[in-house]
Structure 1
Amino acid sequence: VIISRSILATQKGAKIVGDVKCSDRMYQDIEKHGGVPIMWKTGHSLVKEKIKVEKAPFGGEMSGHIFFADRNYGYDDAPYAALRVAEILSKTGKTIPELLEGLPSAFNTPEIRIDTTEEKKVLIVQKMIEAFGKGGPDFTANLTDGIRLSFADGWALCRSSNTQPVLVVRYESTTQAGLDRIRNRVEEVVNKYL
């Protein structure tokens, strides 16, 4: 958020890429600051390629891979990311909490990784798509990578790991009650097939 805000201060309308595991708060903040958020598939090489295709100056994954393409050809470099934050702190004279001002709080889970088999992880995602893939009166469905359900007060993600026999789920809401409601709704389907 800090780096995307800095880039958008000089590049209004720029595209910023994030993976499906990233918070809605990030996507909304990009939009609020004049950017175009692009939600994409999880995976270092997938996000990197999407940034190139979209000619986006910046992007990242929840895993911590941060990609820069605004000043140079483009790369993922943790020390460079830290230096860019330090540069922003130096130029603005603000603290990190001050730079994050206006970002709403949320209740969320970490990435939940459920060990299973290759077959079951694919089956569970397919059953989730069958149950929720067309959307509903209180949510929309995004099938970019697995299925991500967006509600007025939060979201849920269910996807197959790209590299392991693991089902990945994640939840977020503006309230604890919302988080519990969204999680229970998804787990009703997921738990039938574990």
Structure 2
Amino acid sequence: MSKLTCFKAYDIRGRLGAELNEDIAQRIARAFSEVLGAERVVVGHDPRASSKALVDAVKAGLLATGAEVLDLGLCGTEEMYHATAYFEADGGIEVTASHNPMDYNGLKMVKRGSAPLDPKTDMLAIKALATSQNFAPAKPGGTVRLAKAARGAYVQAVLSFVDVAALKPIKILINAGNGAAGPSFDAIAEGLAKRGAPLSFICLNHEPDGSFPNGIPNPLLPENQPMTANAVRAAGADLGVAWDGDFDRCFLFDHLGRFVPGEYVVGLLAEVFLAKEPAARIVHDPRIIWNTQEIVNRLGGVPVMARTGHAYLKQALRDTGAVYGGEMSAHHYFRDFACCDSGMIPWLLIVELMARRGVSLADLVSERMAAFPSSGEINFQVADTGAAVARVLAALKEEVVARDDTDGLSLDMGTWRLSLRSSNTEPLLRLNVELRGDAALVAASVARLRALIDAQG
């Protein structure tokens, strides 16, 4: 009985061939349906060349359990999330590799209400059944039908977050990265136009193309950012928006072409929601926290810290009733969007904030970046992650004023702070550093930590 190595903490990702193929996808889908007792499942896929065959295998696995399959076709992951809740389905599956290399694909899965699968129960049960293949006898009666109403309902849901009457004329550069975003964006843009939104768009790499002729869309990587940045400047745009392959992450560029790190976007969106709902709870991840916490506390909200990862952020929203949650990796979660992440809602809310404040995105974030400079996430490959963490602790023990172990190790030295997390799958340490007001000290702090982490023995 071969092991299924494509199972990660809360989704499926694997190299095409031995790790993930049509047979494995069919087995996982059948196990998913049996474990959840699913009678209706929403299915969609991204534009990768391998996705169509894999989604057909997923449908076959679901049909073997007698389930009704609602087929969304080409769509973003958030459309699957929305449709799962909207159609009151028992679960949803998106075939996507998002920003992974060309020879990868995967499955993102949710259960009823678009709730995340529990990593310790649901995922383990699905993995066990898909591995053993001790399935119940196949059931007749399974059907597939196109979910024709899904996109229109999704557009209505997205646009419900923004006050179109408050918007002002603005030119926006859109980079879909040849991923799934193009058609969905077009539907949203059409809805905005019908409501009289004074927005104009310039579209780049707009057509879905699974060969990704302009590179795999992952705007978080610095080497991928100049394409959008240069296009913003060339077009004289007021704002740039770029997405990853399944557009559940949204990346912003100001009118100067400057990439806006995700933690500052979290702070802006916290401001948006606290203006709409004073005293609301705002969830954030533990990597970079000071900017978000200062904004939330100053505006009368309640900051809530949760472990990094979509399953944990979504569960925190559900547990606390928080109106919004954000991660520095550009995942943004919304209570009124089934507590799921969306890559379309954030840029709309930022456009509304720019209009209400009457300032540019650069103006909105420059002061915050100066007040709370940060390093961005830095990855270290080390032979012994535990020993590296111990060296950091030993060197800093006299300076530490507070420690938090919510997700890895977080140390607060008063004027600066670090987050150090071990990867679950590789000998990697992920470091983030933030300071209060002295950007020059970021590099010095990182250099000091780099020497400790890279030290031998």
Say which SS state the counterpart of residue 421 (structure 2) adopts: strand
Q: Which residue of 1 aligns with 2:223?
A: none
* Conservation of the 8 A alpha-carbon contact between 1:29 and 1:103: no
Establish whether residue 9 from structure 1 lines up as the match of residue 272 from structure 2.
no
Deviates more, 1:56-65 or 1:80-89: 80-89
Change (3 A) 1:184 1:91: closer
* Conservation of the 8 A alpha-carbon contact between 1:15 and 1:36: yes
The one-letter amino acid paired with 1:60 is G
Higher relative contact order (CA closer than 8 Å, sequence separation 6+) = 1
Please, which of 411, 426, 429 is the counterpart of residue 149 of structure 1? Answer: 411
Shift of 1:59: 0.9
How much identity, in percent, do the aligned residues show? 24
Shift of 1:26: 1.9
Please, which of 56, 64, 89 is the counterpart of residue 354 of structure 2? Answer: 89
Please, which of 409, 425, 446 is the counterpart of residue 183 of structure 1? Answer: 446
Deviates more, 1:184-193 or 1:157-166: 184-193
Q: Which residue of 1 aligns with 2:340?
A: 75
Q: Which residue of 1 aligns with 2:116?
A: none
Establish whether residue 140 from structure 1 lines up as the match of residue 405 from structure 2.
no
Q: Which residue of 1 aligns with 2:311?
A: 45
Q: Aligned partners of 1:193 and 1:36: how far apart in 2?
A: 42
* Conservation of the 8 A alpha-carbon contact between 1:128 and 1:147: no
* 1:157-177 Cα distance to aligned partner (Å, 9 max, x none): 111124433111121223245
Say which SS state the counterpart of residue 108 (structure 1) adopts: coil
The one-letter amino acid paired with 1:78 is G
Alignment RMSD (CA, Å): 2.8
**What TM-score, normalized by structure 1, do the two folds share?**
0.80
Q: Aligned partners of 1:46 and 1:193: how far apart in 2?
A: 34
* 1:27-72 Cα distance to aligned partner (Å, 9 max, x none): 2111111111122221122222122212111111111111111x34
The one-letter amino acid paired with 2:286 is V
Deviates more, 1:142-151 or 1:86-95: 86-95
Structure 1: runs of 5+ lacking an equivalent: none
Please, which of 104, 113, 127 is the counterpart of residue 379 of structure 2? Answer: 113
Q: Aligned partners of 2:405 and 2:333: how far apart in 1?
A: 23
* Conservation of the 8 A alpha-carbon contact between 2:433 and 2:442: yes
The one-letter amino acid paired with 1:5 is E
Structure 2: runs of 5+ lacking an equivalent: 1-266
Shift of 1:156: 1.1
Q: Which residue of 2 aligns with 1:158?
A: 420
**What TM-score, normalized by structure 2, do the two folds share?**
0.37
